[in-house]
A = this chain, B = another copy of it.
Amino acid sequence: MARKITPSAEHDSTRGRLLQAAGEVFAERGLRGATIEMICRKAGANIAAVNYHFGGKENLYYETIKWGRKCCAGMEELQAEELAKLTPRQALRRFVADYLRTLLSPRNPAWYFRLISREMAEPTPALDRFIREVIHTRRLCLAGVIERIAGGKLSARRLELIGSSIVGQCLFYNHCQTIVLRLRGKSAYEQTDVDELVEHITAFSLAAIKGFTT
């Protein structure tokens, strides 16, 4: 999963450094809050570079999201195949583990998910793209796993609700990261802590699903 983070071709060009810097700055301060001066400084580029390479701040924003998406791609396609090889319960654990690690890992374009998270509060056209390309796939994948666990006895709506319950549990640790870190200390998301979260969410959800099938 955590493989090449940035297409190597871009990595050392000015354009590539701008994308990388933009991702981090946009994630931290949002489209409006980020200034192209910050981005260029971080990228070691001239302040006019953004307009030269991307034609404007807004366009850089979209290119950044598109690029972040590309960097994370491969995960979803891979996942569907791999999950099919596991037992239903293993598949759920694996789904939760992958998702949670993606959300919490400081690696990956870490900024990508923070960016999308911001899109929730203040949607831009980029969000539609994300829904079409990412959300749909993930929903189907998760629904498939749940169905296998339940043994096919649940309505589509129930599958959907259970999926939301599982995703919600994972997203909580991303969305409320700030609060969790303050309550449990800065080391709340170490490797072993994340393992514990995976175990808990998996167990919690399996038990819950069982409750709907008996």
Contact = CB atoms under 8 A, between A and B. Distances in A.
Interface stretch (A12-20, A57-65, A85-93, A200-208): A200-208
Nearest to A117: B121
Given A120-B176, A168-B171, A183-B131, A206 B211 contact: yes
A197 B170 CA distance: 18
Report copies per complex.
4
Interface in A181-214: 182-183, 196-197, 200-201, 203-212
A165 interface: yes
B175 A164 contact: no
A33 B122 contact: yes
Contacts of A170: 168
Interface residues on A, range: 35 or more
A128 B183 CA distance: 10
Given A120-B177, A204-B208, 11 more contacts: A30-B121, A30-B122, A117-B175, A120-B175, A121-B121, A131-B182, A161-B196, A161-B204, A168-B173, A203-B212, A206-B211
